Amino acid sequence: MELAQQVGSRLRELRLERNLSLSALARLSGVGKGTLSELEAGRRNATLETLYALTTALDSPLTAVLGPDPARATLSGRAVDAVLVERYEDPAAVTEIYRIRIRTGAVQESDAHPPGTQEHLIVLSGTARVGAASAPVEAGPGEHAHWPADIPHVYAAVSGDVEAILTVRYPA
Amino acid sequence: MELAQQVGSRLRELRLERNLSLSALARLSGVGKGTLSELEAGRRNATLETLYALTTALDSPLTAVLGPDPARATLSGRAVDAVLVERYEDPAAVTEIYRIRIRTGAVQESDAHPPGTQEHLIVLSGTARVGAASAPVEAGPGEHAHWPADIPHVYAAVSGDVEAILTVRYPA
DNA sequence: ACAGAACGTTCTGTTTACGGAACGAAATGG
DNA sequence: CCATTTCGTTCCGTAAACAGAACGTTCTGT
């Protein structure tokens, strides 16, 4: 089964990253050697208890062997790929944090968001040109930009691909 | 078993939130009625396949039935509580994103981090006074502050508790 | 070169998670 | 007011996940 195979290969990856032999992990976790062998081969649908014993021995969260979280939405546009890292709702506003990459050679325009929306960008690498469509600013590695997003705004990479953290905050 | 009981009660919560009967969820998910009954009672160690069928029918990520992620480390200091939201490693640096709250009435001092470390703060609510110990700055809701963290620095809340997003980036 | 240990896979018997049927209780409706 | 449906739990036979043993193979060390 496909799910079992995905879990199996992730399990094997984690084990090898830690330079553990299959036998060693079996001993550490208290899981049978044969069980682990077949799990890694994707020939078993593990029980939660078994998975928990293994991930605990691997000092990993249980989620490390489950697929990428489908709730972690990804948005792809002309020049920007974004993956949602976190989303909070508080009484006043909704805050979303994205890990984004801006590709060179293209400009992405975004229409106005709800009134009061603000965006912050912290650049990790590359140089970005972002902000209000009428007055974009540049931000290099380690720098920050901030603009109102309730008017049309743009994202572009000036030099090299840009890795950055984008925070969007809009009234509830 | 304790793990099974936690999963069971979360499963029941999710089902009730959606106003589904146990029988209806069993039908939707293709899981046996008896199986689901005993799962919710915490009397079974579910198989991944079964859990996946159930969470899919509930339109929830698989992680919704697993406990809170223990990898989400929390740090508590004199004035600051921080929960790690995300951590990336790239060839050049490590980036950590925290959701933090700064309590009023106390000042937290932090010693110098590794050379080259930078911190960014985006304030969601309240007014913070943060930055180099020798030259802190104020940032109100929606504002941003940025300082080198390889020297002693401070965190304080000027008015009301401060909710904010803290990004720490230091060379690998 | 050979003994011994450790490796990962395959086999074996037991336990248990599974789907479905059977059950009594509560809700529904004609 | 009784017939029918739907509810959640319990029972049952089967399939499979489990721990541990047995196996051949590949390291390790003397």
Q: Residue B123: CB partners within 8 Å, gap ≥ 6?
A: B139, B140, B141, B142, B143, B144, B145, B162, B163, B164
Q: Write out pLDDT tens, residues A80-114.
A: 999 988 888 888 899 999 999 999 988 999 999 99
Rounded mean pLDDT, B155-166? 93
Rounded distance between C-alpha atoms, residue B116 and residue B172, angstroms: 10
Question: What is the structure's pLDDT at A91?
Answer: 87
Q: Is B148 exposed, middle or buried (0-12, 13-18, 19+ CB in 10 A)?
A: middle
Contacts of B118 in chain A (CB under 8 A): 142
Q: Is the CB of B45 under 7 A from strand C?
A: yes
The nucleotide whose C1' lies nearest the CA of A34 is C9
Give residue B73's pLDDT: 66
Quick one: which of B92, B153, B88 has its CA closest to B120?
Answer: B153
Mean pLDDT of chain A: 92
Residue with tokens 């690498």: A125
The answer to whether residue B69 scores a pLDDT higher than 70 is: no
- The answer on pLDDT for B6 being more than 70 is yes
pLDDT score for A57:
93
Domain boundaries for CATH 2.60.120.10 within chain A: 74-171
d(CA B53, CA B48) in angstroms, rounded, equals 9
A43 strand D contact, CB < 7 Å:
yes
In whole angstroms, give the CA distance from residue A22 to residue A37: 7
Interchain CB distance below 8 Å, B48 and A52: no
Give ranges for CATH 1.10.260.40 in chain B.
3-65
The contacts of residue B158 (CB under 8 Å, 6+ apart) are B126, B127, B128, B129, B138
Share of chain B above pLDDT 90, in %: 79
Residue A143: pLDDT above 90? yes
User: How high is the pLDDT of residue B172?
Assistant: 84
Please report which confidence band the pLDDT of residue A68 belongs to, taking 50, 70 and 90 as the band edges: confident
Nearest to B157 by CA among B117, B114, B110, B100: B100
- Domain covering B74-171 in this structure, CATH number: 2.60.120.10
- Taking only the tens place, the pLDDT of each residue in B92-107 is 899 999 999 999 988 9
Token pair of A66, please? Answer: 């489950």
| B3-65 CATH choice from 3.30.70.20, 2.40.30.170, 1.20.120.160, 1.10.260.40 | 1.10.260.40
Nearest nucleic acid nucleotide to B46, CA to C1' distance: C17
What's the whole-number average pLDDT of chain B? 91
Q: What pLDDT score was predicted for residue A71?
A: 60
Does any CB of chain B come closer than 8 Å to the CB of residue A108? no
Whole-angstrom distance, CA of residue B105 vs CA of residue B126: 13
A88 CA to D6 C1' in angstroms comes to 39
Q: Which helix (H) or strand (E) holds A166?
A: strand A153-171
